[in-house]
Amino acid sequence: MDAKTIILIISGGIAAVKIPELIRRLRDQGRSVIPVMTKAAHEFVTPLSVSALAEHRVYTDLFDLTDEAEMGHIELSRSADIVLVAPGTANLVAKMAHGFADDLASTLLLATDTPVIIAPSMNVRMWEHPTTCRNLAQLRADGVRVIGPNKGVMACGEFGYGRMAEVTEILGAVDGFFKVGPLQGKHALVTSGPTHEPIDPVRYIANRSSGAQGTAIAAALRDLGARVSFVTGPADVASPSGVEIHRVQTAVEMLQAVRSILPVDVAVCAAAVADWRMASAHDQKMKKTTSGPLPNLEFAENPDILADLSKGVHRPRLVVGFAAETEYVIKNATAKRLRKGCDWIVANDVSSDTGVMGGQKNTVTLIDDNGAEAWDEMPKEGVAKRLALRIAQDLK
Ligand code: C5P
């Protein structure tokens, strides 16, 4: 692995306590780390421990640089291969989204022309606040790669999304960034998992998709060097590391997430999106009555994300759909390719006796302009690798 230089910006959140371990692991990999700390970060981790592990002095103030005639803040901002922000507080996210430059960290981020990866970390309410959502969407649109946050218990005792991505996940993102492969420089979008369509606050419509095939495809594209945006419904399997994860529940949310990620070079729609949602979900839990009529569920059609992508103004160069069928697999999938307007369809038989849904293996047929090509049964990772190589060939 080539040694690469990383400017590591540490802002003032409790997750800063994990940063010495991150620095140690980066150094073990032979990476050079230039640490920059905000003032607030000093409350959580000492500059002494950071500089000792990084084997590099810590910068905090713009004035730290004035005594180094050879490197000002502009030059410093461009001296690394990437800028990694971990943890990224709500405050720093807001400053980045709006271009504030009132300390060294935010000034570097405004002045840099190198790619930026951020691992946000904050209280769940702050993460879910519409302002933060807007700011994050802005950063993504500006090309910043966002890793995490994860769901879990927070230092403040609350539970939800906001925990900084684990050190191994951040390392995965950095590795993924430097990976040399045929898809380097390409941006891939993968949808995965089922969607959950609420009936009322406690019930929902779902399907048996585990997310295993979509997860394997995202990992395979990442391994070939692609930047991967991974939009996942509530899946059973863990999301892959080193990809940008967008978690959604419903088809409508999945469509919004997908649109916010475009443009991309390739989109692979492996999600088992519910075709219908409730025409109007109940605000309160529906009650069982002893004598009244049984509930009458009225459905509305969900947006077709694959068709939307294939026919939209930001159509990716290559759009790949999946067809989960239980009968007339090839005939139905061939018709689906034309109806949806995608380039390829990966067709599979998901009848219950095949064990595909929720299972480890898959037998697929790839359908493109040239017809149908049947692949032997193989693990879902095998299907993913072969598909990723095929994608790399096509995008060459
Ligand atoms: O129409 P059907 O659900 O069988 O199509 C399957 C393909 O379309 C899959 O690639 C799936 O991810 C995608 N799809 C979608 N949006 C929907 C339904 C399916 O993107 N609402």
Q: What does the domain layout of the chain look like in residue ranges?
A: 1-178, 180-396
Could you tell which of 191, 250, 306 is best to mutate to test the pocket of ligand 1, judged by most ligand atoms within 8 Å of the CB?
Answer: 306
Question: From CA 242, how far away is CA 171, in angstroms rounded?
Answer: 8
Q: Residue 334 in contact with residue 349, Cβ under 8 Å? A: no
Sign for the CA dihedral angle at 117, 119, 122, 127 comes to: positive
Supply 20's token pair.
């010495």
Q: At what angle do helices 380-395 and 212-223 cross, to 10 degrees?
A: 50
Render the burial of 120-150: b for 16+ CB within 10 Å, e for the rest.
bbbbbebbeeeebeebbeebbeeebbbbbbb
From 1-5, 8-12, 24-28, 171-175, the region with the lowest mean pLDDT:
1-5
Asked whether 302 lines ligand 1 (CB < 6 A), one says: yes
Predicted local confidence at residue 66, as pLDDT: 64
Determine the Cα–Cα distance for residues 16 and 20; give it in Å rounded to an integer.
8
End-to-end Cα spacing for the chain: 24
* Secondary structure (3-state) at 220: helix
Per the CB < 8 A criterion, the answer to whether 1 and 75 are in contact is no
CA separation for the pair 232, 305 (Å, rounded): 13
Taking only the tens place, the pLDDT of each residue in 245-304 is 999 999 999 999 999 999 999 999 999 999 999 999 899 998 888 888 888 889 999 999
Using the predicted structure, report yes or no on whether residue 106 has a pLDDT greater than 80.
yes
Side chain identity, residue 212: A
Contacts of 241 (CB under 8 A, 6+ apart): 168, 169, 172, 173, 176
What digits encode the pLDDT tens for the residues 124-156?
999 999 999 999 999 998 989 999 999 888 888
**Phi, psi at 242, each rounded to 5°:** 75, 20
342 is catalytic: no
Tokens 């709006």 belong to 98
The CB of 231 under 6 Å from ligand 1? The reply is no
Mutate to test the pocket of ligand 1, among 197, 254, 304 (most ligand atoms within 8 A of CB): 304
Q: Do domains 1-178 and 180-396 have the same CATH topology?
A: yes
11: DSSP letter: -
What is the residue with the minimal CA distance to atom 5 of ligand 1? 323
What confidence category does residue 362 fall into, taking pLDDT thresholds of 50, 70 and 90?
confident
Ligand 1 contact via 251 beta carbon (within 6 Å): yes
Report the separation in Å between the CA atom of 304 and the middle of ligand 1, taken as the mean of its atom positions. 6
Find out whether the beta carbon of 269 lies less than 6 Å from any atom of ligand 1. Answer: yes
- If you measure from the C-alpha of residue 303 to the centroid of ligand 1, how many angstroms do you get, rounded to a whole number? 9
* pLDDT bracket for residue 361 (50, 70, 90): confident
Residues 180-396, CATH architecture: 3-Layer(aba) Sandwich (3.40)
Choosing from 133, 156, 269, 342, the catalytic residue is 156
- CATH 3.40.50.1950, applies to 1-178: yes
Stretch 50-57: mean pLDDT: 96
**Residue 147 alpha carbon to ligand 1 centre in Å:** 26
Indicate whether 1 pLDDT > 50.
no
Mean pLDDT of the chain: 92
Q: Is 322 in the pocket of ligand 1 (CB under 6 A)?
A: yes
Q: Which two tokens stand for residue 169?
A: 């996940």
Measure 356 CA to ligand 1 centroid, in angstroms. Answer: 17
Q: Where are the alpha helices (DSSP H) in 179-301?
A: 212-223, 251-261
Q: Is 191 in the pocket of ligand 1 (CB under 6 A)?
A: yes
